[in-house]
């Protein structure tokens, strides 16, 4: 009986330890380290934060609170908020916290201009017109050919 009870206690302890793992973190077998783990889990990196814009001003959302630039988040003062980074000053040290790990920001590629095909001659267009539609009336839908190599 004691053996069964001790097995149950050890199982419950192992299950409770597994429940504390962050579900958004990669598994330990992957060998990847989250930024909050690399920094030692200090107070400088707000956990579960996001950024919103209100009236053109960025705000950091931590839990149910909004923080503007200049306010304190824990022991750190919020210096700057961008789309991809949060800058915090704790003591005399300025720390940049990446919002998205492993993502690099880059400029978009320029759009590819489509080549316009020459219109068919009027005699050819009249022959292709359906017998129910007069050649004088405009088509309801103008057919557009997609660009070569363009994705929908």
Number of structural domains found in the chain:
1
| Residue in the block written with tokens 């017998």 | 131
Strand 65-67 and strand 72-73: the pairing is: unpaired
Does the reported pTM lie above 0.85?
Answer: no
Domain interval for residue 60: 43-100
Task: Count CA within 13 A, CB hemisphere, residue 74.
Answer: 17
Per-residue pLDDT tens for 100-135? 877 777 888 887 776 665 555 555 555 555 555 555
> Tens digits of per-residue pLDDT, 23-79?
777 677 666 555 444 444 444 456 677 889 999 999 999 888 999 999 999 899 999
Separation of alpha carbons 112 and 58, rounded Å: 34
Does a structural domain hold residue 22? no
| Residue 144 is assigned to a structural domain of this protein | no
In a domain, 48, yes or no: yes
Distance CA 141, CA 133 (A): 13
- Report d(CA 26, CA 9) in Å as an integer: 28
What pLDDT shows up at residue 100?
80
89 domain residue, yes or no: yes
């Amino acid at each position: 009986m004691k053996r069964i009870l001790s097995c149950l206690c050890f199982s419950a302890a192992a299950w409770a330890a597994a429940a504390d793992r962050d579900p958004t973190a990669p598994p330990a077998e992957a060998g990847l380290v989250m930024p909050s783990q690399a920094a030692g889990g200090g107070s400088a990196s707000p956990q579960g934060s996001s950024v919103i814009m209100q009236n053109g001003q960025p705000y950091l959302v931590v839990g149910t609170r909004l923080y503007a630039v200049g306010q304190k988040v824990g022991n750190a003062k919020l210096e700057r908020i961008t789309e991809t980074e949060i800058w915090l000053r704790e003591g005399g040290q300025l720390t940049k916290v990446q919002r998205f790990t492993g993502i690099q920001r880059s400029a978009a590629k320029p759009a590819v201009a489509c080549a316009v095909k020459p219109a068919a001659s009027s005699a050819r267009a009249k022959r292709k017109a359906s017998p129910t539609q007069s050649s004088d009336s405009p088509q309801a839908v103008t057919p557009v050919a997609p660009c070569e190599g363009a994705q929908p």
